[in-house]
Amino acid sequence: MKAIRVHSAGGPEHLKYEDMPDPTPGAGQLLLRVEAAGVNFIEVYQRTGLYKMPLPATPGAEAAGTVLAVGEGVRDWRVGDAVATVDAQGSYAERALVAADRAVAIPPGLDAKRSAAVMLQGMTAHYLATSTCPLREGDTCLIHAAAGGVGLLLVQIAKLRGARVIGTVSNAAKEKLAREAGADEVVLYSERNFVAEVKRVTHGAGVRVVYDSVGRTTFDDSLACLVPRGMMVLFGQSSGPVPPFDPQILNARGSLFLTRPKLQNYTATRAELLERAGEVLGWVRDGRLRDRIWREFPLAQADDAHRALESRATTGKLLLVPAEAGAA
């Protein structure tokens, strides 16, 4: 099979398209024919060495496709089943292994590409809005990068829960997308100070929660947008990691809460995985949650996909599609 391999940390050019032996499923595993693999910032962090992983390695965990073989002891899956996962063992490949209890069924009416496009980002948006800081009717939230892959989904889920959404974006095209997703107010941070705009539209009160995937460049000002006892949810760092800071700042600004969550802790049990994935995939199938695939890249062009993601010019999901699956 063909796969992307990383032999040493570095830039996108370190993503190598190579031949690898087909994996064999062990006990409790599925062998998946990858029809689409999601591209996510965690793989950028791993490739650069910011997040350590044993090398050489095949990046990627998000995938959707068809079961080719099942390992010993697997009872709930059959060859030919359509499944999606965020826990594949190297999804930047034509074949990937996944633990049977970390796969979910793709519901009728959805294909592999749309499923791969929403598994990680959709469940991330879901846990942020329903579990980390559960939004209630009438809450006001601030969502950074509101036209990004997670951002567009998070805006929609926040609106499904009855919240008022203020989004930040970098340009007019992204503003249009954020508004189409349902954002009530959109701030072009390249033109206006988002703290001042938040205070203006909330009549000086601030927001109950900030969902921040940007990190270094937005963190300090995000804290200034919160009401007393508000919550700062830092779930990414596309602009770089947040430097160490004095926790006394949280006290001084009104007994604020700060959390740095990750999806694995919100899908820790199979029951929670099935509930969260089932709701997201069901919403997409039924049209309540609109997915947006920004671009599909052939698997061999994983380096270009990473360059696009790092440019922060994307407005939706990036997918890698193996040659045998057919890239658009």
Which residues does the chain have with pLDDT short of 50? Answer: 327-328
> Phi-psi category of 109—alpha, beta or left, where left has phi over 0 and alpha has psi -120 to 50?
left
- Looking at residue 326, its amino acid is G
DSSP 57: B
Enter the tokens of residue 166.
């203020």
Instruction: Write down the pLDDT at residue 241.
Output: 86
Element (H, E) at 187: strand 185-188
Helix then strand then coil, in percent of the chain rounded to 5, is 35, 25, 40
* 58-90 core/surface letters (b: 16 or more CB in 10 A; e: else): bbbbbbbbbbbbbbeebeebeeebbbbbbbbbb
Helix (H, G, I), strand (E, B) or coil at 298: strand
* C-alpha 217 chain-centroid distance: 20
CB 152 within 8 A of CB 178: yes
Two structure tokens written together for 11: 């830039």
- Report the candidate in 162, 140, 145, 150 with the shortest Cα–Cα distance to residue 119: 150
Distance from chain centroid for Cα 111: 19
CA atoms within 13 A on the CB side of 54: 2
* Token pair listed for 121: 């980002």
Q: What is the widest separation between alpha-carbon atoms in the chain?
A: 61
User: What does the pLDDT read at residue 328?
Assistant: 45
CA distances from 251 to 44, 141, 208, 242 (A): 34, 20, 16, 18
Residue 47 makes CB contacts below 8 A (sequence gap 6+) with 6, 9, 10, 11, 12, 14, 15, 59, 306
Q: How many CB atoms lie within 10 A of CB 218?
A: 25
Measured between alpha carbons, how far is 31 from 93 in angstroms, rounded to an integer? 12
Q: How far apart are CA 271 and CA 282, in angstroms?
A: 16
Contacts 24+ apart (CB under 8 A), 271-276: 273/102, 273/104, 274/104, 276/123, 276/126, 276/127
Domains and CATH numbers, the chain: 2-119+267-321 (3.90.180.10), 136-260 (3.40.50.720)
The model's pTM: 0.92
Q: Look at strands 164-169 and 185-188 and give their pairing.
A: parallel
Task: State the angle between helix axes of 112-127 and 270-286 in degrees (0 to 180), rounded to the nearest 10.
Answer: 120
Beta 207-212 vs 140-143: how paired, if at all? parallel
